[in-house]
Amino acid sequence: MNNTVPDAPRLALLYTRVRVEERMLLDAFESIGVPIEAIDTRSLAFDTTDPEPWTRFYAVIDRSLSLTCSITATRILEGFGVRCINPARAIEVCSDKLASTIALERAGVPTPRVCVAVDEESALLAVESIGYPAVLKPTIGSWGRLVARVNDRDAAEAIIEHRATLGSAQQGVFYVQEFIDKPGRDLRVFVVGGEPIAAIARRSAHWVTNTARGATAEGIAITEELGDLCRRAASTCHADVVAIDLLECPRRGLLVNELNHSMEFRNSVQTTGVDIPRLVAEHAIRIARACRAEVAACR
């Protein structure tokens, strides 16, 4: 074990489950020599009038697996003036596909065309206006869950009815995206502190290319075009650490499909040769140091 860095800033990591990623992050801090307190978000009762337990941290990394936990904790901590990684507003933009689409569109970052409806009948209109095949997704969700390709009107009617009948309230938002006829893979770029640090391509025989769904990943080079696009996408969502998913459209070129605020990287360290958890930890330490300097300057 390394010695502790003498002037280490105080940090915490919030989690709901310690997966491989959280372990890798904690190990990275240990090897750098900066102690970090791992806190189970589920065990906390926040008193919104009492910042005292939190103000000793200069930065808090949120790695909660549950979005509800992430948003709740970061909102409260930011209310106390604690710097969160990622900030609540970044989590809000990344976790909600509609919010991501709006942010990307506003910033002029190319993204697949999207139509949205909140009623069954207008949902069908939304699908028809996108054209077939279309892709219907829950606005909140991950790992390719409930992402459906809609090939014709019959399928559209069936899926819309299922969602309306069986889905939760949040699935009452029909988010319809144009289908991108990508070359059997999608791209994922890891961005830390605004800089793209590593990229992979996820390949699968199925059109859903999530590694959680059995796709295989390989490291790829970050071209200038890819890097620029990802820098813009990352600054749009205000995330310190973000994984950006892109589709290669035969007509429009690179399109940003998705932003992930709590990225998974366990299979990407080997494939890219980039020590992603270490770079994340180093960036978090940089942020914490800067926050400490700011606090000191205010005294």
Ligand X SMILES: Nc1ncnc2c1ncn2[C@@H]1O[C@H](COP(=O)(O)OP(=O)(O)OP(=O)(O)O)[C@@H](O)[C@H]1O
Residue from 18, 32, 44, 164 that binds another protein (CB under 8 A)?
18
Q: Least distance (Å) from another protein to the CB of residue 94? A: 9
Q: Are 155 and 206 in contact (CB under 8 A)?
A: no
We find the least distance from the C-beta atom of residue 293 to ligand X, in angstroms, to be 35
Give the residues lining the site for ligand X (CB under 6 A): 112, 135, 137, 141-145, 147, 177, 179-180, 182, 186, 207-210, 245, 247, 257-258, 260
Q: How far is the CB of 163 from another protein (least distance, A)?
A: 13
Among 44, 65, 98, 164, binds another protein (CB under 8 A): 65
The SS3 call for residue 282 is: helix
40 binds, among another protein, ligand X, none (CB under 5 to 8 A by kind): another protein
User: Can you tell me the distance from the alpha carbon of 14 to that of 31, in angstroms, rounded to the nearest whole number?
Assistant: 19
Q: Which residues contact 240 (CB under 8 A, 6 or more apart)?
A: 85, 86, 87, 90, 192, 193, 283, 284, 287
Sequence-distant (6+) residues with CB within 8 A of 82 are: 51, 54, 55, 57, 59, 60
- Selected from 4, 5, 37, 42, the binder of another protein by CB under 8 A is 42
Residue 66: name its binding partner from another protein, ligand X, none (Cβ under 5 to 8 Å by kind).
another protein
Q: What is the side-by-side order of every strand in the sheet holding 253-260? A: 216-219, 195-203, 185-192, 241-249, 253-260
CB of 115 to ligand X, least distance (A): 12
Minimum distance from CB of 213 to ligand X (Å)? 8
Backbone angles phi, psi at 253, to 5 degrees: 80, -150
Please choose which of another protein, ligand X, none residue 112 contacts, taking the beta carbon within 5 to 8 angstroms, the exact cut-off set by kind: ligand X
The answer to whether 40 contacts another protein (rule: CB under 8 A) is yes
